[in-house]
Structure 1
Amino acid sequence: MSFMLRTTTALGLALAAGPAFADMDAARAFLDAEIGDMSTLSRAEQEAEMQWFVDAAQPFQGMEIKVVSETITTHEYESKVLAPAFSAITGIQVTHDLIGEGDVVEKLQTQMQSGENIYDAYVNDSDLIGTHWRYQQVRNLTDWMAGEGADVTSPTLDLEDFIGTQFTTAPDGKLYQLPDQQFANLYWFRYDWFNDEKNRADFKEKYGYDLGVPVNWSAYEDIAEFFTGRDLSHLGVTGEVYGNMDYGKKDPSLGWRYTDAWLSMAGVGSKGEPNGLPVDEWGIRVDENSRPVGSCVARGGATNGPAAVYAVEKAIEWLQKYSPPAAAGMTFSEAGPIPGQGAIAQQMFWYTAFTADAVKPDLPVMNEDGTPKWRMAPSPHGVYWEEGTKIGYQDVGSWTLMKSTPVDRAQAAWLYAQFVTSKTVDVKKADVGLTFIRESTINSDHFSERADKLGGLVEFYRSPARVAWSPTGTNVPDYPKLAQLWWQNIGDAMSGAKTAQEALDALCEAQESVMARLERAGVQGDIGPKLNEEKDPQWWLDQPGSPKAKLENEDEEPKTIAYDELIKSWSN
């Protein structure tokens, strides 16, 4: 029975009556009913942390605040369970709205442009870090916690315990957002099919190397070919089987597929962590002062360079050859559940946020003992990729306070943001949504015990490999304006209306048009775009690093690694 249904507890009665004042009894009832020992803190430490919230909330009794996030499992838990608990414990009435990711960005944009206080806090992807730093319309939390937010900043916040703050820190060294949930896109595959002796023998005979986790795209392609249409009746599998899953409908979610770092896996960007410098995974180049100077190769960018063309062409080829026929007409949300239905051998681009839904006991991809038949591993890289380059995307939904929000409302919202990320609740929240934000939670005994039920998620987040996955970085000067260009232009390539080269030429030119307008307007000051003069693209391609010249042979020698050996290497 969920916490929300336990109305016989003291907290349930408090919720029914409607909280009017901060209440430590409600806190104890919440700890009893919902948290128990599922925390990295002892019961005494939990109560001490809750007491701080009770005390800090005193000036805000009866205040009503509104916050917003996208609709994912983690935020549903916050909205339905943690928000009512916070209201009962603190006396601050909080409404936590759940809307689409695009709608969150639209509301935030409207608040930026109008100055109207629509929400008191946003869980806004750290992909907007470059936007927030340049426009200076959000409170930077470093100064906030030392100034107006000092009295409402928890002594147990422990920023060093958060694994994503490097993604929410701008080049000025200031923290602009507080991570609330975090997930990566990784390689997903049928561990049981890959370990089947007949499959392994047949693959070795056909391709001359071992079936395993693909290290590069050449191996991924071989595996996709091998499994597509394969007869797996000896494993009790009936129906058509496919070696790849993706989606291709011309829809805003198609843009996420690419801005969320498909090009990074191909090797488009420069070396560097968390993002390539001077050229990032969007193909945008910045100068030594972090000013965007170009997107097209003619200005030193890489959005329309050979590596990007290779990336898009491969995605289209695999979608057409190795995926279910319906995939080309699917959106992100429609494609997400398909691997769990049991007919997909592998998927290069699979969000770990799907884990909670992919481990449900009645799915054909689950064993009777509650362990999954699938695993996740690092995504394979394309032929242009080099060691030290970003290799995939990590979503970091983060608490963001707008300057247009009145101070007292921002202070109350900051209390809520800290409550839902606190050490008291974080293990339980992570258990529900599987979107880790704290090192202490990842390394907790609870997740050591649960690890074998989660298909490699815990092992990945405990590994040194995770730092190569990162959100959009600070090279992107205006995420909302630029991100919407991707799905429209990539969609033209997916539909066949344009070649990949033509679509990417149009995309980089559109990005530069937006950056030129920002430069003319001067709205981002001396950290806004300052476009390079155009040169012969070959001049840039002849320079070291990104943009990278076209390789004569884009089919490198395929390479795989045994999954169990990979996991072992992480723990060494």
Structure 2
Amino acid sequence: MNHLLRTSTALAMALTVMGSPAFADMDAARAFLDEHIGDLSVLTREEQEAELQWFIDAAAPHAGMSINVVSETITTHEWEARVLAPAFSAITGINVTHTLISEGDVVERLQTQLQTGENVFDMYINDADLIGTHWRYQQTRNLTDWMEGEGAAFTNPMLDLDDFMGISMGMGPDGKLYQLPVQQFANLYWFRHDWFTDPEIMAEFEAEYGYPLGVPVNWAAYEDIAAFFTGREIDGVKVYGHMDYGRRDPSLGWRHTDAWLSMAGASDLGLPNGVPVDEWGIRVDEDFRPVGSCMNRGGATNSPAAVYSIQKYVDWLNDYAPAAAAGMNFSEAGPVPAQGNIAQQVFWYTVFTADMVEEGLAVVNEDGTPKWRMAPSPHGAYWQEGMKVGYQDAGSVTLLESTPVDRAQAAWLYGQFIASKTVDLAKSHYGLTFVRDSTINHESFTERAPRLGGLVEFYRSPERDLWTDTGFNVPDYPRLAQLWWQNIGDASSGLRTAQEVMDSLCEQQEAVMARLERAGVQGDVGPKLNPIMDDEYWLSQPGAPWPALEDERGTPITIAYEDLIRRWTE
């Protein structure tokens, strides 16, 4: 398996040389299959070759064209850029430049193209969190109509949309598909299973706190566990009970828009993410028109639950995380638990799983099994049964209307190729960001599951559907997302209180929505702000925003990991 998964520089160079119309044939396809796929496909070799022959034939009208694709820099996309892009170029004769940049830069480039109409990139791989933006602006090709119209001759008959586990994330309220998933990840709780099951540590914890050490169900238990482990020395290493990041950076916004408020209990009950009030605190009406963010318009961005969530974030970062964490961003902080001095992380991105399973790491046993496990994230004091459980998203193929038709057709071929049944299993073994049911259910992942700390069990469980992305309420993700990191940065640095930060944030979100309303650029699905009323009016109404609790701690609750994983597997 390792032989099949490694990236071959030599082959990549050879495929690049071959990447011209004259060499767009099955010779390049077979070389790619031999080197990088082998048995790691849900298709037989005959079916693989048939699918690649379809790509060769479909690409013929655009052979010789050069297209530009952009995605964020994560392990999965690195494999696509290093391996799949040159292979696609060689196989089809369409030359692909797959650019890797930060997620914040991806959103910035996409926003530029939306605003100017100039074709910056022919295809974006961006999060389905932008579905509310794409649906409202109608500047993104809806793939449902595209596959029946200008993209019909370039749509793979083996695409099998029903096989995509997160396909609904890219659909708008109109039922149309705007984005096709090519990588998917969730946010879960991460912890050192070896420490949590050590008899001496378990006995000491229970003696001190009066309840068993286990997976924390709520934030009260998480906080106790963080305090217990912070400052301890285990195997000669100083341990911290929590890990996070606080640098003023676009990724600081994702840390919180990725359902942090809803985990605290700030949003409404109901899936996918709470209607009428979502995890950004934005309220919509029955037509999904955003009507407010502040409590005085019915929103919840500055509600007691939201302020509580930000205060806990700041307290835990300062009290239980390494001092360096305050100066880190998403990419820098993600691999830190692999260094072996972190006991748990409340909100850990499974996209970093590939960085946590390499041989020789402090968190991996000699036999290759992990010392850590993943589980559902604990919830805050305001959380109620029926609220959003956690965050999940899909990096997805997005074709903008401003991209010329022929370039969009060529890019669509590449987008389907990197998520095709021929390649998806091998790609998923490399990056561990699953998008297909056929992939996660393949026997090779049954074999590998014990080395992945619960990831396979999670994605095979129906419970995965309770983890959802940012939904339809956010009318302009690029504009609103930048407000979050700028404001939260003031909280993480201590410049302003949590209440001041969230008051400012909700007002700024409403200012953007008011401009969109005046401009009318989103038609009858754009914002239509509610009149300002007293906060108490909305706090007295059913649902979010929820009134303040007298006790924002509650009784700490833990559960044995074995009981929890049984729920996923049975």
TM surpasses 0.5: yes
Letter in 2 for 1:5: T
- TM-score, length-scaled by structure 2: 0.97
> Residue 306 of structure 1 aligns with which residue?
304
- 2:194 and 2:15 map into 1 onto residues whose CA distance is 49
Indicate if the aligned counterparts of 1:370 and 1:453 stay in contact, CA closer than 8 A. Answer: yes
Correspondence 1:48 to 2:46: no
Deviates more, 1:449-458 or 1:465-474: 465-474
Cα distance, 1:251 vs. partner?
2.4
SS in 2 for 1:293: strand
Q: How does 1:127-206 map to 2 (within 5 A)?
A: 127-206=129-208
Q: The residue matched to 2:378 in structure 1 has which SS? A: coil
Q: CA deviation at 1:17?
A: 4.1
Structure 1 residue ranges, 4+ long, deviating more than 4 angstroms after superposition: 11-14
Residue of structure 1 aligned with 2:68, choices 66, 69, 76: 66
d(CA) in 1 for partners of 2:105, 2:318: 31
Give the whole-Å Cα distance in 2 for the aligned partners of 1:571 and 1:314: 32
- 2:21 matched residue in structure 1: 20
Give CA-to-partner distance per residue, 1:428-475, whole Å, 9 cap, x none.
000111111001101111111111111111111111221222221110
3-state SS of the aligned residue for 2:21?
A: coil
Bigger mean CA offset, 205-214 vs 134-143: 205-214
Task: Output the CA distance in 1 between the equivalents of 2:303 and 2:7.
Answer: 53
The alignment's C-alpha RMSD in Å is: 1.3
Shift of 1:25: 2.0
| CA deviation string 1:170-219 (max 9, x = no partner) | 00110000001111111000000000000111111111211110111111
State the secondary structure of the residue aligned to 2:185: strand
Please say if 1:435 is aligned against 2:433: yes
Quote the Cα distance in structure 2 between the aligned partners of 1:101 and 1:570. Answer: 31
Give the 3-state SS of the residue equivalent to 1:146 in structure 2: coil
> What do the CA deviations read for 1:496-518 (whole angstroms, capped 9, x no partner)?
22111111000000000000000
Q: How many residues align?
A: 565
Stretches of structure 1 lacking an aligned partner (at least 5 in a row) = none
Q: Report % sequence identity.
A: 69
Scaled by the length of structure 1, the TM-score of the pair is: 0.97
Between the aligned partners of 1:382 and 1:274, the Cα distance in structure 2 is: 19
State the SS of the aligned residue for 1:57: helix
Cα displacement (A) at 1:16: 2.8
Look up the equivalent residue of 2:62 and give its one-letter code: F
Change (3 A) 1:205 1:141: same
Is 1:295 matched up with 2:299?
no
- In the alignment, which residue of structure 1 is the partner of 2:371? 373
1:358/1:14 CA distance change after superposition, 3 Å:
closer
- In the alignment, the residues of structure 2 paired with residue 14 and residue 133 of structure 1 have an alpha-carbon distance, to the nearest angstrom, of 38
AA in 2 matched with 1:488: Q
**Which residue in 2 is equivalent to 1:401?**
399
Partners of 1:159 and 1:81 lie apart in 2 by 24
Equivalent position amino acid for 1:377 in 2: A
Q: Which of 545, 548, 559 in structure 2 is aligned with 1:547?
A: 545
Contact 1:389 1:468 (8 Å CA) reproduced: no
Determine if contact 2:169/2:393 at 8 Å carries over to the other structure.
no
Tell me the distance in 2 between the aligned counterparts of 1:408 and 1:527: 30
- Measure, in 1, the Cα distance between the counterparts of 2:71 and 2:325: 28
Give me the whole-angstrom Cα distance separating, in 1, the residues matched to 2:431 and 2:496.
39
> Aligned in 2, Cα 1:113/1:429: closer, same or farther, shift over 3 Å?
same
1:561 to 554, 559, 562: 559
Match of 1:227 in 2: 229
Q: CA deviation at 1:250?
A: 2.3
The 10-residue stretch of structure 1 (378-387 or 321-330) with the greater mean CA deviation from structure 2: 321-330
Indicate the residue corresponding to 1:280 in structure 2: 278
Residue 254 of structure 2 aligns with which residue? 256
Q: 1:267 — aligned with what?
A: 265
Q: Which amino acid aligns with 2:47?
A: E
CA deviations on 1:66-116 (whole Å, 9 max, x unpaired) are 111111111111111001111111111111111111111111111111111
Within the candidate set 199, 217, 227, 1:215 is matched to: 217
Q: Which residue of 2 aligns with 1:97?
A: 99
Of stretches 477-486 and 241-250 in structure 1, the one that deviates more from structure 2 is 241-250
User: Which whole-Å CA distance do the structure 2 matches of 1:13 and 1:501 have between them?
Assistant: 58
Give the alignment partner of residue 5 of structure 1, picking from 6, 9, 25: 9
2:330 is matched with which residue? 332
* Contact map agreement 2:302 2:502 (CA 8 A) in 1: yes
Deviation at 1:3, TM superposition (A): 4.6
Q: What is residue 508 of structure 1 aligned with on the other side?
A: 506
Would the aligned equivalents of 2:241 and 2:342 in 1 still touch at CA under 8 Å?
yes
Superimposed CA distance per residue, residues 358-383 of structure 1 (whole angstroms, 9 cap, x where no aligned partner) = 11112111100001101111100111
User: Residue 21 of structure 2 aligns to which amino acid in structure 1?
Assistant: A
